[in-house]
Amino acid sequence: MFVVVLALAYLFEFANGWTDAPNSIATVVSTRVLRPLPAVIMAGTLNLVGALVVGTAVAKTIASGIVDPAFVTLGTVAAAVLAATLWALSAQYFGLPSSESHALVAGLLGAGFATGGLEALEWSGTSKSLIGLVTSPVGGFVVGLVLMVVIYRLFARVRRPTVSKIFGRGQILSAGFMAFSHGTNDAQKTMGIIALTFYLNEVGTLGADAELTIELWMIVSAAVVMGLGTMIGGWRVIRTMGMRLTHLEPVNGFAAETGAATVITLAARLGIPVSTTHAIGSAIMGVGATKRLSAVRWGLAGQVIAAWILTWPSCMVLGYVLARLFALAE
């Protein structure tokens, strides 16, 4: 089971990079500032850098702030990770941006409840996740909208081709910032799962002397696997996020990426697991709304938001059912 859980953790991280890659590069590809292959390579590289240079506050939240390690088993962790992975891949199949962050948290809550009841659930990390559930989409929308308004005011008298040229270059930086912020938050989730897996395995041999620690190799391996997933990319989600929600030009992409990346990076510093999908998706909506409300395809936006909302109950139920099945298998 130890080997199975580790394999599932890395599969989740690979799927995370695969399905979340479009969130880092959708706008820079849709505005044709970068071609898909260079954009994916940049995203994969900066995902790795972001995971390495920022602390492990989010990883610690995932490892011990959602479920109490004293009440869970390796089967519990396996159920949670598998539930989140299945949800992520299903959403990607239908071309819908999914939140692996909230899928994993919900999967942990469902699996933890199946194993240890309410006593196994921790409020400290769950509350941070719920805060992130609200602040990442609201923050992304507001910051993206405000940045777009400020840019419109500052460049009101500048010719449109000049604005496109300036922000075409600027968007390379904002896309890089977006990819970096993705690494600061998303890569840490699997680090937390790996640390929790090793802790649970050591409890069986070391007992009370086992310690939950996040080693350097866990950080590097999680970041590398996510980077590999990112380099594969998910072009169906790029089409949804970068081309169908609203029409984007380089200046719009710059504002959306900068706004979303700012929200994600601040959350990582505070140890709050947030969704890159929520942040960039809502930032794109906020940027589009500055043109006119009808510039955003609200019907499609509603489908995306519905997928976000369904993530919590779906993954909680799936995590619960899988944990019960793993318990029977043991």
Q: Which of 15-19, 57-61, 75-79, 177-181 has the lowest mean pLDDT?
A: 15-19
**To which H or E segment does residue 20 belong?**
helix 2-30
Residue among 172, 184, 104, 181 nearest 143 (CA): 181
Structural contact between residues 189 and 104, judged by C-beta atoms closer than 8 angstroms: yes
Structural contact between residues 176 and 28, judged by C-beta atoms closer than 8 angstroms: no
DSSP 199-245: HHHHHHHHGGG------HHHHHHHHHHHHHHHHH--HHHHIIIIIIS
> Residue 45: what pLDDT?
81
Structural contact between residues 314 and 107, judged by C-beta atoms closer than 8 angstroms: no
> Residue 25: what pLDDT?
74
Q: What is the pTM of this model?
A: 0.81
> Residue 214: what pLDDT?
82
Instruction: Assign 81 a pLDDT band (cuts: 50, 70, 90).
Output: very high
Distance separating alpha carbons of residues 38 and 41, to the nearest angstrom? 5
- Domain of residue 116, residue span: 2-329
Structural contact between residues 282 and 140, judged by C-beta atoms closer than 8 angstroms: yes
Distance separating alpha carbons of residues 128 and 119, to the nearest angstrom? 18
> Residue 246: what pLDDT?
57
Q: What percent of the chain is predicted at pLDDT more than 90?
A: 23
Distance separating alpha carbons of residues 194 and 191, to the nearest angstrom? 5
**Single-letter residue type at 323:** A
The residue with greater pLDDT, 46 or 301, is 46
Helix 276-289 to helix 160-206 angle, to the nearest 10 degrees?
160
pLDDT digits (tens, 9 = 90+) for 154-181: 998 899 889 888 998 898 899 889 888 8
Instruction: Count structural domains, the chain.
Output: 1
> Residue 241: what pLDDT?
54
pLDDT digits (tens, 9 = 90+) for 104-141: 999 999 999 999 999 999 988 889 888 888 888 889 88
- Residues 6 or more apart from 288 whose CB is under 8 A from it? 245, 246, 247, 248, 252, 295, 296
Structural contact between residues 234 and 96, judged by C-beta atoms closer than 8 angstroms: no
Structural contact between residues 16 and 88, judged by C-beta atoms closer than 8 angstroms: yes
> Residue 240: what pLDDT?
54
> Residue 234: what pLDDT?
57
Q: How does the average pLDDT of the chain come out, rounded?
A: 82
> Residue 213: what pLDDT?
83
Model confidence at 80: pLDDT above 90 = yes
